Amino acid sequence: LLNRYSTAAKALTTVNVNGKAFEADDYTNITPKIASYLNSNLHLKKNHPLSLVRQRIVNYFYTFRYAGNPEFSVYDNLNPVVSTKQNFDDLLIPLDHVSRAKSDCYYINRGTLLRAHMTAHQSELLRSGLNNFLMIGDVYRRDEIDSTHFPVFHQVDAVRSLHKERLFPNQPDLEIFEPQYDTKNPFTFKNTISDPMKQSCHTLEATKVMETQLKNHLIGMVKTLFGKDIKHRWVDAYFPFTHPSWELEIFYENKWMEVLGCGIVRNEILVNAGPSNTIAYAFGLGLERLAMALYKIPDIRLMWSNDSGFLTQFENKDLDAKITYKPVSSYPQCTNDLSFWLPENLSIDTFMSNDFYELVRGIGGDIVEQVKLKDKFVHPKTKKHSLCYSIVYRHLERTLTQEEVNRIHKDIEVAVATAFNVVIR
Ligand code: FA5
Ligand code: MG
């Protein structure tokens, strides 16, 4: 793969990812560190907490049966290398949408990236003729650094699409589509989302029945995971690929926590990928968030721990057993500050913080627990901008010495000064 960080990418012509060579270009920003997480398959690893939660969710969806057979088929082994068409275009995500930014995704090149959500596979599976399915796997996003964020996490996505006969089994006079919409010539209808209740092509009855199924299925899922007394609420949301859309939050340890996004699939997607005469729901949830809450795992980096003190706590347990993670031991933190002057052409608002986080993580590795902006400042005379970040270091399995941390911190200073042309204060 690349032997240097993203700045070096320009000099190279090919990038090898998952055994395949790709032409590098000005969008290439995948790092060797990130590529090293590919094929880890934590969600399939025996006794891994992510795998336990995955199995519980899959088992729950297996209880939905039609004519004796499970309704949902499960795909947990899809290649995370996807095209921008799969990750964005097929999902009606506009060309200028923020989620496409180089600062938010790991691009292999302009046309190829590590999927940023499992929804990237929705259209291809619909196109292959599937109606009800789950897609489970690792997703990649450039993001901040703290105890709940890691550049790789795992999602479970789903689609359920129903024909009129299944949607309204006892009411043959009810329709999925408004009379103006012609299922034989779907492209002649301009579908709109200006009505907050539904897409213009759908009838209110069809939308409400699908919405009720969606919400019941998901509440059933969180009750299966957290117990029947779990408190939840629905929050209106927006996704380019669903309308209406919602987020589900659960009240957990005195806080509302977002667990998933969902909604009624935009009809344009079904028309493009088939089955065009159905209405569908879709959702996407984060496995780490659920596992951390269920097992009281305090830091997302623990998911990547190979320490037996972590993994053995989940060994040979009944899937539904109540497991509470006990910290192997809590080693002390070390916090060092990093202050620098930005070059004249950069301001506090244009400094690419995700590039900075990535560089810190690339050098400090998993001992970097958090990077937080501590202070920003504009010099009254020179008008130069200065930023100060606190970097919190902690090893999950042993105590770090101050000298060791200072050495790594120094390396980070040198690398930051070179990569961003800043002056360390
Ligand atoms: C999505 O990724 C949409 N694809 C979900 C979706 C699918 C909506 C189908 C509608 C239909 P979002 O970025 O909000 O949405 O992520 C979905 C879930 O993934 C979140 O609710 C959260 O549980 C989890 N998640 C998102 N970002 C992170 C993160 N940085 N760390 C851990 N979990 C995360
Ligand atoms: Mg969200």
Ligand 1 site, residue 242, Cβ cutoff 6 A: yes
* Cα of 238 from ligand 2 centre, angstroms: 9
Does the Cβ of 87 fall within 6 Å of ligand 1? no
Count of CB atoms situated within 10 Å of the CB of 411: 12
Rounded to whole angstroms, the Cα distance separating 348 from 41 reads: 38
Distances 191 to 181, 201, 266, 415 between C-alpha atoms, Å: 9, 6, 9, 50
Shortest-distance ligand to the CA of residue 266: 1
Predicted confidence (pLDDT) per residue in 41-77, tens digit: 999 998 999 999 999 999 999 999 999 999 999 999 9
| Span 357-390, pLDDT tens digits | 999 999 998 899 889 899 999 999 989 999 999 9
Question: What residue's CA is closest to ligand 1, atom 20?
Answer: 260
Tell me what pLDDT residue 328 has.
Answer: 65
For the ranges 124-128, 308-312, 339-343, which has the lowest average pLDDT? Answer: 308-312
Cis omega (within 30 of 0) for bond into 332: no
Q: Look at residue 352 and tell me whether its pLDDT is greater than 90.
A: no
Q: Given CA atoms 6, 8, 9, 10 in this order, what sign does their dihedral have?
A: positive
Give the per-residue pLDDT at 12: 56
Give the pLDDT of residue 310. Answer: 83
Atom of ligand 1 nearest to the CA of 141: 30
Judged by its nearest atom, the ligand closest to the C-alpha of residue 289 is: 1
What's the confidence (pLDDT) of residue 148? 87
Q: What is the mean pLDDT of residues 272-292?
A: 95
Q: Which two tokens stand for residue 88?
A: 């964005």
Please tell me the predicted confidence (pLDDT) of residue 9. 45
Ligand 1 within 6 A of CB of 263: yes
pLDDT at 123 over 90: yes
What ligand is nearest to the CA atom of residue 290? 1
pLDDT at 318: 85
Gap from CA of 36 to ligand 1 centroid (Å): 23
Q: What is the pLDDT of residue 5?
A: 47
Whether residue 104 has pLDDT greater than 50? yes
Cα distance between residue 218 and residue 57, in whole Å = 10
Tell whether the model's pLDDT for residue 210 goes beyond 90.
yes
Q: What is the DSSP letter of 149?
A: B
For a mutational test of ligand 1's pocket, the pick from 82, 155, 235, i.e. the residue with the most ligand atoms closer than 8 A to its C-beta, is 155
pLDDT in the model for residue 3: 41
Point out the ligand nearest to the CA of residue 257: 1
pLDDT above 90 covers a percentage of the chain that reads 79
Determine the average pLDDT of the residues in 398-418. 96
Q: Is 146 in the pocket of ligand 1 (CB under 6 A)?
A: no
220-256 pLDDT tens trace:
999 999 999 999 999 999 999 999 999 999 998 889 9
158 Cα nearest atom in ligand 1: 9
Contact 387, 339 (CB under 8 A): yes
**Interval between CA 146 and ligand 2 midpoint (Å):** 17
Q: Ligand 1, atom 19: nearest CA belongs to which residue?
A: 286
In sequence order, the β-bridge partners of residue 162 are 279
| Residue 282, ligand 1, Cβ within 6 A | yes
Neighbours of 103 (CB within 10 A): 13
Residue type at 407 in one-letter notation = R
Angle between helices 402-420 and 353-364 (to 10 degrees): 140
Assess whether the C-beta atom of 262 lies below 6 angstroms from ligand 1. Answer: yes
Centroid of ligand 2 to alpha carbon of 425 (angstroms): 37
Instruction: Provide the pLDDT confidence category of residue 8 given band limits of 50, 70 and 90.
Output: very low
Residue 310 in contact with ligand 1 by CB distance below 6 A: no
Buried b (16+ CB within 10 A) or exposed e, 271-300: bbbbbbebbbbbbbbbbbbbbbbbbebebb
Q: Which domains does the chain have, with CATH numbers?
A: 37-80+115-295 (3.30.930.10), 334-424 (3.30.70.380)
Residue 349 has a pLDDT of: 87
In tens, the pLDDT along 142-200 reads 988 888 899 999 999 999 999 999 999 999 999 999 999 998 889 889 999 999 999 99
User: Are 56 and 50 in contact, with CB atoms under 8 Å apart?
Assistant: no
Q: Among 134, 136, 239, 303, which residue has the most ligand 1 atoms within 8 Å of its CB, making it the best to mutate? A: 239
Long-range contacts of 315-324, Cβ-Cβ distance < 8 Å, separation of 24 or more: 315/47, 316/47, 317/47, 317/52, 319/52, 319/55, 319/56, 319/59, 320/56, 323/49, 323/52, 323/294, 323/295, 324/295, 324/296
For residue 65, the surrounding DSSP H or E stretch is strand 65-66
| H/E run at residue 58 | helix 49-62
Query: ipTM score here?
Result: 0.98
Residue-averaged pLDDT of the chain: 93
Q: Kind and range of the H or E element at 389?
A: strand 385-393
Within 13 Å, how many C-alpha atoms sit on residue 45's CB side? 18
Q: How far is CA 73 from CA 43, 69, 167, 265, in A?
A: 17, 10, 19, 18
pLDDT band at residue 305 under the 50/70/90 scheme:
confident
Q: Is 254 left (phi over 0), alpha (psi -120 to 50) or beta?
A: left
Q: How far is CA 3 from the centre of its chain?
A: 27
Contacts of 224 (CB under 8 A, 6+ apart): 56, 60
Cα first-last separation, the chain: 34
Residue 25 has pLDDT above 80, yes or no: yes
